[in-house]
Structure 1
């Protein structure tokens, strides 16, 4: 478009994340803002200096004038235009999806971790007020900004978690409804040596191999639908342990407890095996929609509905705690075979 570049350099054409666009629209075009957590995922923001990075902007040829102001995740971002709700309503909380979930799980101390089980898995660990550069293929990100102080996290993303259950239903016809997988998996005490590596679209963290492909190992004439269901469920927990192994190496902090949320956490078989395979308690909260809860907490803190994070943490309520019950030798034997299965799935496709 002729003249578009010049308009961008004058700040007449704007660029931002989804929250920036929503805020801009809700405020009637008066506020072009975002928060630290969203800015940190644009590949243009310096998470150390807390400013847009001039070197990256030059590399990507993006004019600074078109980018939003970056603010704390909890604070006054603006007021909605009266055309939307009849009066101005303060916008006081903005955060990225998984960062908001981490806040909603009250992971406020260094070493606190949460795992969200949806189509994929997203595991974040609070690393405190100093960013920890990952040496194990994780993402170093900003968790949130609060009262002028920034909290950093390590994040690992798994591409296929709950989606493997959808594949059992839609691809193989092993189950008719996703909820059936827990009942079917519970019919056997283990997978009888069957391992499913659900690398349908490659493998995410910590492997980052787009050429990996899904595979099933250990099939025998004795393998049943129940064993396949259990192997599918266990694959979610194994991939989560892969992430935790990398995180603990990077952060140097042992895992005390893993908080969990997301649709798949209704599956008790999954959560018990997760506790077993990481050898740490797994806690499921009463409120599973922790992303929305975290955004609400950030907004409420800004207007004084909650006083501080200590009060927020007291609101966290336990639904069920899963304690590890597997013997060490069995746990490590199973995980070793999982790693062997993953190794054989890597680099399957030609580059």
Structure 2
């Protein structure tokens, strides 16, 4: 009998698949690109068929690379990406509205009188980032037909015929009662989604059906939203620990245990996972543009790609007085001002690519510091270290800047593809109910640890300059979105 599992991470810009053996580690790898379309009015869409094709293509490639069959499949998803589709045929009725899409801002503004109530119910602020506003927007602007759900429910239906979503993904909609871990009739009514067909909310380690798209029939036994899967893979299973993933955006999650902790600092309170009928919760903070800000600099011709961050940024000693607030798609947590746009100040005739790169790294790192400070406030104690993963952790400049501004060690995961590894662990738990989380998750070991190289006062000064620019942006941008 095969012991390996196929773990598929369906992401914003591509799908990565790993075949993971409990004894030999990763023995097969596959990937397939996904191309979101960015349009006017803050629109970000992708063809759902491309999402499905990427899952199937990456999964088949990983199994072919491994050269052996798998015992089960786990599927991680983007979380807040939604579409309408026909439950009878499985065909999409709309494009998928990606988590970055901002066109539902007007719906959020209409819900301002109910924002506090919705946050108490669901743990989430009213913001276009989450799934419910996008779902309501589809119903208002696109179609009343079929079902409107997060992308995972559609993918699982196409692959197995089941109509389910895991508790953590459901928790990213703003339609889930955070305490009951079930759909909230009140939230559904407020969003005009009462009576909608909704997927069953299941545990992350539930056997939900059989997949034949990858070859021989195998059970789908793991479902988990991407950032929570990365949290699991990094062994952040105890209250007080935190991780940050540096991808298209940056996503910081801190464990709070088996009780939801309502946040007063602007972070999100949500389900980390439900495994074996037991729910764990976490605090969640986001930075909307990280790798996407690097791509922006690339598109301008300042650099040729992320690999240029270190050689170009390290060619100069500092940012030369340049401050970059890379809010190119708005400010997420803890401000929740999607209407704010970024700024680049302190430019001079001597400003070059190196200063711009350093300013970008400082801007990204400063926003993550804001998230860690908010998490520490909500937890009632400071974090002791930050575990990190994602493609941009390969940048020594960014990671050192993060440690400097954070004034804490930054531990870089030795295991790439943390999201896939996390949902792979969920799949193993679903396959073997006797398995413990500790045995299912790879042992944590950093590939590098970055210690602060500057003093606390210099870090405070640099953070102060960044925060002053953020405050100026907030002051001169009239609020057009509800206060969380």
Alignment of 1:141-180 (within 5 A): 141-171=270-300, 173-180=301-308
- Counterparts of 2:256 and 2:333, CA distance in 1: 18
Structure 1 residue 210 displacement after superposition: 2.9
Which residue is 2:122 aligned to?
A: none
Deviating more after overlay: 112-121 vs 217-226: 217-226
1:139 paired to 2:268: yes
Structure 1 residue 317 displacement after superposition: 3.1
Which residue is 1:196 aligned to?
A: 324
Per-residue CA distance 1:186-231 (angstroms, 9 max, x = gap): 1223223221111223211111223322222233444333122111
- Counterparts of 2:192 and 2:330, CA distance in 1: 31
Unaligned runs of 5+ in 2: 1-85, 87-144
Deviating more after overlay: 205-214 vs 341-350: 341-350
Report the secondary structure of 1:66's partner residue: coil
Which residue is 2:223 aligned to?
A: 94
1:57 paired to 2:188: yes
CA RMSD of the aligned region, Å?
2.3
- Counterparts of 1:180 and 1:305, CA distance in 2: 46
Structure 1 residue 268 displacement after superposition: 0.6
Structure 1 residue 64 displacement after superposition: 5.5
Structure 1 residue 166 displacement after superposition: 1.9
Unaligned runs of 5+ in 1: 5-11
Report the secondary structure of 1:74's partner residue: coil
Which residue is 2:107 aligned to?
A: none
Structure 1 residue 315 displacement after superposition: 2.8
1:122 paired to 2:255: no
Which residue is 2:197 aligned to?
A: 66
Structure 1 residue 63 displacement after superposition: 4.7
Partners of 1:185 and 1:230 within 8 A in 2: yes
Alignment match of 1:22 (pick from 155, 166, 186)? 155
Higher relative contact order (CA 8 A, sep 6+): 1
Partners of 1:106 and 1:312 within 8 A in 2: no
Which residue is 1:272 aligned to?
A: 400
Task: Give the total of aligned pairs.
Answer: 336
Report the secondary structure of 1:280's partner residue: coil
Report the secondary structure of 1:98's partner residue: helix
- Counterparts of 1:331 and 1:164, CA distance in 2: 23
Which residue is 2:311 aligned to?
A: 183
Q: Normalization by structure 1: what TM-score?
A: 0.88
Alignment match of 1:307 (pick from 428, 435, 442)? 435
Deviating more after overlay: 161-170 vs 285-294: 161-170
Per-residue CA distance 1:102-126 (angstroms, 9 max, x = gap): 1121111111111111221111111
Partners of 1:125 and 1:154 within 8 A in 2: yes
Q: Normalization by structure 2: what TM-score?
A: 0.65
